[in-house]
Amino acid sequence: MTNHEFPVTQYQELKKHGIKNGKRIFVGYNKDIKVKNKDINKSKRTTFFYVKQNFNNKNNELSESEVNKIICADSEEYLKTLPDNCIDLIFTSPPYNFGMEYETHDDSIVWNDYFKKMDAIITECVRVLKFGGRIAFNVQPLFSEYIPTHHIFSNMFMKHNLIWKAEIIWEKNNYNAKYTSWGSWKSPSSPYFKYTWEFVEVYCKGDLKKEGKSENSDITADEFKKWTVGKWSIAPERGMKLYNHPAMFPEELATRVIKMFSFINDVVLDPFNGAGTTTHIAHKLNRKYIGVDISKEYCKTAKRRITSKISDYYE
């Protein structure tokens, strides 16, 4: 058999082929496998079997005096002052409990206490989220301690009857090696893996579809085609020293989440607003916003980012 001959029985259905970049390409080789009877199979299964559909679908609108604010407060306590079903999109990145140097709280508390507090805040987030609204959590597991934070948060969201929409991999392309060895060096005993990405977990309340007017969608065709691929290559935030914050996500990440999951004039909430990237981008994209953070300094920075130019920070 020559290099260009193949067993007929194996390739008899791939009758046509061509040469591309020096390689033999068979017709149909790269096509997705088609699942037969999709609708029938779907009807056999219980859609969103992990969710109890017990949410009120009547949404409430906040007044102009209640939006476009930066609030210095504990998120759990402040969210209790908001009515049910009033927020369109929650985008945030909670403290990771890695041991970052925050002036306002201990970022290395016992894990049970950390997740208990997070669950209390998520409970309020779910309550204030509109029917059809989305919550997007940017999280990073503590790989060195094998704490699967993204899975634990996902379990919380499902416990609160939210519907899983997406898991986006935020590829930071950061290959800086912080360790001189990788677990059990050259041994399968206990290898340690390094990661260059974080996660954005996206969940919906009550329905996967969010009602909104088409003219209030500002995402372009090219953006939609690019961003619906669930791996986003975005460089990390480079201006953390500028804003005096140890852990920020970049403006591009906030831009994609807000344009993908909300309409113009929607209300966007960040309960861990930090230096205000979410509220800054929400304002820039003509969304209404509420940012909550316990730090007075971060709240000042968040307000300044909305009213000032970045060049003002270099004065």
The CATH architecture one would assign to domain 56-314 is 3-Layer(aba) Sandwich (3.40)
Comparing 228 with 188, which gets the higher pLDDT?
228
Region 242-253: what's the mean pLDDT? 79
pLDDT of the residue at 14? 45
Q: What percent of the chain has pLDDT over 70?
A: 75
Position 314 confidence tier, pLDDT thresholds 50, 70, 90: very low
Region 62-83: what's the mean pLDDT? 96
Q: What percent of the chain has pLDDT over 90?
A: 55
The domain spans of the chain are 56-314
Query: Could you tell me the two tokens for 223?
Result: 């953006």
The position carrying tokens 């954005």 is 200
Q: Select, from the ranges 10-14, 278-282, 297-301, the one with the highest average predicted confidence (pLDDT).
A: 278-282
Position 96 confidence tier, pLDDT thresholds 50, 70, 90: confident
Position 8 confidence tier, pLDDT thresholds 50, 70, 90: very low
Work out the mean pLDDT of the chain and round it to a whole number. 83
Residues, the chain? 315
Using alpha carbons, select from 122, 160, 123 the residue that is nearest to residue 139: 122
Region 202-213: what's the mean pLDDT? 95
pLDDT surpasses 60 at 274 = yes
User: Can you spell out the DSSP letters for 39-81?
Assistant: HHHHHHS-TTTT----------PPPGGGSSEEEES-HHHHHTT
* Residue 216 vs residues 160, 189, 263, 264: alpha-carbon distances, Å: 29, 55, 5, 5
pLDDT surpasses 80 at 61 = yes
Region 46-53: what's the mean pLDDT? 80
pLDDT per position as a tens digit, 120-165? 999 999 999 999 999 999 998 877 788 899 999 999 999 999 999 9
For the entire predicted model, the pTM comes to 0.81
Comparing 88 with 21, which gets the higher pLDDT?
88
pLDDT surpasses 60 at 10 = no
pLDDT surpasses 60 at 26 = no
Q: Select, from the ranges 182-186, 187-191, 229-233, 246-250, the one with the highest average predicted confidence (pLDDT).
A: 229-233
At residue 118, the 3 state secondary structure works out as helix
Region 262-289: what's the mean pLDDT? 96
Region 48-62: what's the mean pLDDT? 89
φ, ψ dihedrals at 35, nearest 5°: -85, 125
pLDDT of the residue at 108? 57
